Amino acid sequence: MTADFLFSDLHVHTNKSLCAPRDTVPASYVPYCKDEGIRIIGISDHVYPEDMLAQYGYPEDKRVGRLLDLRPALKEAEEQSGIRYLLGCEIDYFDCVGYPYIRPEESVGFDYVLFASSHILNYPHMYTAYDLNSPDVLRKLTIERFVAACKLDYPVPMGICHPLYPICSPYQAEIIDGISDTTLKELFSMAAEKQISIEIHACLYRNDTPHNEYGLSDHYLRILAAARDCGCKFHMGSDAHAAGAFVGSHGKLRKAAELLGLTEAHIWDVAKGILPS
Ligand SMILES: [Zn+2]
Ligand SMILES: [Zn+2]
């Protein structure tokens, strides 16, 4: 198997995320792990701002503390399947609110956290002061959010999911290609210095830019190559919200790792199942 040192998927959702089907639970992915070459699953559901949940009347079980309630289900799935489970979360943060939606002290129950630095069009109501139809504006925001993530300090291992990927924008190639090599070097040097892991994310094949013969985006591979050159560590993330998106993902992501020339030495400790003691 190509890049078989990538045997963990640290970005998988369950029904604790508002955007996942109601029947997606930690064990939903188990039947597919063998074929996918996955031995560790990291659950990283979205963390929502408490005020937003209250404002929109979202259910109690989506709140930060409730994500930790997944532990027993993870233990049970682990015992029944032999697959190891880690518990992370996917954190949004907005300058306009002034704090990330899970504060550093609240993160101690998680094995790791992923910062969703490019969730911008996911929450347009947070960015009403910006013209989000402008690729230049969105690029600037995407870069600023990445820098903001690199300035966060958490007591658990930190990663950035779908780094610099302008989710939902119709101008993806324009935005990504418009980030200069110099800027990429600055951004990923910051991430490397803070030991923030960079995600080999499904956006490598799930995006609107042209794809190469392997079905991967060279535009997006350029971004990850810059991270590699800056000494960043990596983890793999399908961002599956249900089994369907989990199946078939990891072969493509391993191909990307192979094209990038990644070796085991490039892989984040958490993705190898090594947690800080
Ligand atoms: Zn995300
Ligand atoms: Zn996600």
Query: How do residues 217-260 score in pLDDT, each as one tens digit?
Result: 999 999 999 999 999 999 999 999 999 999 999 999 999 999 99
Ligand 2 centre and the CA of 231: distance in Å? 24
Ligand 1 centre and the CA of 158: distance in Å? 15
User: Which residue is it, tokens 């799935």?
Assistant: 77
Q: Provide block-wise average pLDDT over 10 residues at a time, the chain (277 residues).
A: 91 92 94 98 86 68 72 94 96 66 85 93 85 95 93 95 93 95 98 98 92 96 98 98 97 98 98 96
Pick the CATH number of 8-272 from 1.20.120.1630, 3.20.20.140, 1.10.10.10, 3.30.565.10: 3.20.20.140
Identify the pLDDT of residue 60.
62
Identify the pLDDT of residue 92.
82
Ligand 1 centre and the CA of 162: distance in Å? 7
Q: Rounded to a whole number, what is the distance in angstroms from the first to the last CA of the chain?
A: 31
Identify the pLDDT of residue 45.
94
Instruction: Please write the tens of the pLDDT for every residue from 75-94.
Output: 999 999 999 999 999 998 76
Ligand 1 centre and the CA of 14: distance in Å? 13
pTM of the complete model: 0.94
